[in-house]
Amino acid sequence: MNGAYIEVPAGGRTWRLHRPADLEALWNTMGTDEFGDDERLPYWVELWPASLGLAALLQENAAAIQGKCCLDLGCGLGLTALVGASHGARVLGMDYEPPALHYAAMNARENSISGVAWVAGDWRYPPVVQHGFDVLWGGDIMYEARFVGPVFRFLEHALAPGGWAWVAEPGRNIFPAFQQALAHGGWQAGRVAKHTVPAMHGKGSVGVDLWRISRK
């Protein structure tokens, strides 16, 4: 399949992002046996609106992440990892799908961003050091009920004492269950911003809530 690229204004500059195709085109080339038990759909090929909202938040909080050890959870094509690195963060981009990391690394080279590391990983089995990150962020990572427990446990594992996470959330019905799990586990989540960003494929706009999550 021929590759393609999109140009995305976000986080203070325009980014050129390579990808193999859009989701619909890639989906049409896949057989059902490729999805597996975990339903490994190629969501990573799209740039979801939450990523744009998260990129804006990272730009607005550049001073807070400069020099910090940061983790992009579900980095996909790499946009928010690259935005964070462009503002001085030391970033590890993690994704479940190795092909996503191939394109994320390609996009780092294309946009002259160095110093970002990439790792394939499942948040159920963290491939990162315990309490090793000052800041963690993720865009639209809470879209199925089965993710609530694993993501909560991953936060507990990965974040250093005094660290926090930013989650960009486009209003999915499952997010309140995640908030309840956080509260029961001794964490707190507060909305720190709301951004209106372009919807996918130029179809209107979408409101994205930005949440800051930390231990109580």
| pLDDT in 10s for each residue of the chain, 216 residues | 346 889 999 999 999 999 987 656 555 555 445 444 555 667 888 999 999 999 999 999 999 999 999 999 999 999 999 999 999 999 999 999 999 999 999 999 999 999 899 999 999 999 999 999 999 999 999 989 999 999 999 999 999 999 999 999 999 999 999 999 999 999 999 999 999 999 987 789 999 999 999 999
Q: What three-state secondary structure class fits 118?
A: strand
Whole-model pTM: value is 0.90
Tokens, residue 196:
């209106």
User: Nearest-CA neighbor of 113 among 88, 134, 132?
Assistant: 88
Looking at residue 71, what is its pLDDT? 98
Quote the pLDDT of residue 216: 93
Residue pair 163/134 in contact by the 8 Å Cβ criterion: yes
Looking at residue 23, its pLDDT comes to 55
CA 87 → CA 10, 48, 51, 80, distances in Å?
12, 21, 16, 11
**Helix-, strand-, coil-residue percentages of the chain, each rounded to 5:** 35, 35, 30
Q: Where are the alpha helices (DSSP H) in the chain?
A: 23-27, 49-60, 62-65, 79-86, 98-110, 148-158, 175-184
77 alpha-carbon distance from chain centroid: 9
Please give the pLDDT value at position 74.
Answer: 95
Question: What span, in angstroms and rounded, lies between the C-alpha atoms of 175 and 144?
Answer: 9
Please tell me the CATH code under which domain 47-215 is placed.
3.40.50.150
* Domain spans, the chain: 47-215
Rounded Cα distance between 113 and 110, Å, is 8
In one letter, which amino acid is 138? G
The pLDDT assigned to 3 comes to 65
**C-alpha to C-alpha distances, 15 to 56, 111, 169, nearest whole angstrom:** 13, 7, 22
